[in-house]
Amino acid sequence: MKEFDIKEANIAPYDMEDEEQLSENDDVLFENEDFEKESSGGMFEHYRFNVDKGQSLLRIDKYITEHMEKTSRHRIQLAIEAGYVRVNDKVVKSNYRVKPYDVITIVLPYQRRGMEVMPEDIPLDVVYEDNDMLIVNKPAGLVVHPGHGHFHGTLVNALAHHLGLSQGPDAQDERMGILVHRIDKNTSGLLVVAKNDEAQLHLAKQFFYHTIERKYVAIVWGNVKDDEGTITGNIARDPNDRLRFKVFPEGDIGKHAVTHYKVLERFGYVTLVECKLETGRTHQIRVHMNHIGHPLFNDDRYGGDKILKGTLYAKYKQFIDNCFKLLPRQALHAKTLGLEHPVTGKHIFFETPMPADMTALLDKWRKYSNSQALEEE
């Protein structure tokens, strides 16, 4: 991908920090705690134009189009409508006239990258597709997009092949302007993908304002006391372990996060729960459930890969070891996704069944729980 000519365009490029574990984050790209250079409102500066002193009055959409290679005026107008273009730190409309010494910034709800993405023929489970978007059921084990240690074999590489793309003509990030959010490598479930500029901007805005409806199912350690409840607590990176996040209940550190949960089935030592996200933070469900003493089953990042509840018998230890082998990842699945169609405005809803590994694990726990109940009778 060709980089913009900084001297010719008078654009200050976004200065990226080195990002570890980029492929391991749960949530929307623009709310990722890995991004150190975040500006106000969860936005990231991609371009900066310092207007010359001799510049004549000119509509801002026309000015930007003239100063950026391979960028359509329509795309710029969409970005302006979405509030992504600012002049002197203030949001403007398309009819704003640029004047000398203005500072124009383009801020977008995701990190600018610059990584080449190669199409790869990787099978995709496409739940829905039209001219503007598609819904993918991501299997566990598939990294969402290229990043540190994962440059090939990702969902984005598969999408590039499926859509017949390498990178969009003016894309400045590794998602090629199509991927709007992500889930962990070892989490399965639904992801929405935009197929054009208008869809991308509208979907990103829905995630930014938390209007997307998302429900997950998880298997957690322990017998959750209440049938339903709400977990509220700021989430930030754990200062003692960069790869983990934790809750800061006082609220002076991190980002506000809310998770609603409901018990679906109890097995004594583990519980099947449904989690509804009110916000979307990195590892939110995993961090919140761990915070209330119920880490996800086999979640090695948050201690769920050890026996936390049960008996001391060798037979039980062998049972748990077999369970871990059956589901060698955290027990979390993005089950439902509800959103407003980015073009028609119609509310659409999608649901996918639990994958085979989680279903098999639940069957195993049901049999164990029933056998224990019979022994007690």
- CATH number of 31's domain: 3.10.290.10
167 part of a folded domain: no
What is residue 22's DSSP assignment?
A: G
279 part of a folded domain: yes
Compare 193 and 172 and report the one with higher pLDDT.
Answer: 193
Residues 252 and 372 in one domain: yes
pLDDT at 80: 87
Give the percent of the chain with pLDDT over 70.
Answer: 79
219 part of a folded domain: yes
For residues 237 and 244, the answer to whether their CB atoms sit within 8 Å is yes
pLDDT at 42: 53
233 part of a folded domain: yes
For residue 367, the enclosing domain spans: 210-377
CATH number of the CATH domain containing 317: 3.30.2350.10
Name the burial class of residue 375, with classes exposed (0-12), middle (13-18) and buried (19+) by CB atoms within 10 angstroms of its CB: exposed
144 part of a folded domain: no
Residues 222 and 332 in one domain: yes
1 part of a folded domain: no
Q: How far is CA 314 from CA 83, 96, 239, 270, 310, in A?
A: 60, 73, 37, 18, 11
pLDDT band of residue 49 (cuts 50, 70, 90) is confident
Domain stops at, among 65, 86, 108: 108
Average pLDDT, the chain: 81
Q: How many domains does the chain have?
A: 2
Q: Which of 27, 102, 184, 305 is catalytic?
A: 184
- Checking if the pLDDT of 169 tops 50, the result is no
The 10s digit of each residue's pLDDT in 347-375 is 999 999 999 999 999 999 999 998 876 55
166 part of a folded domain: no
Single-letter amino acid code for the residue at 135: I
Highest mean pLDDT among 73-77, 237-241, 336-340: 336-340
Tell me if residue 121 is catalytic: no
Domain stops at, among 73, 108, 143: 108
What angle (nearest 5°) sits at the alpha carbon of residue 27, between those of residues 24 and 29?
90
Q: Is 245 helix (H, G, I), strand (E, B) or coil?
A: strand
Residues 222 and 369 in one domain: yes
195 part of a folded domain: no
pLDDT at 43: 62
pLDDT at 213: 94
pLDDT at 282: 86
pLDDT band of residue 333 (cuts 50, 70, 90) is very high
The Cβ of residue 105 has, within 10 Å, a number of other Cβ atoms equal to: 18
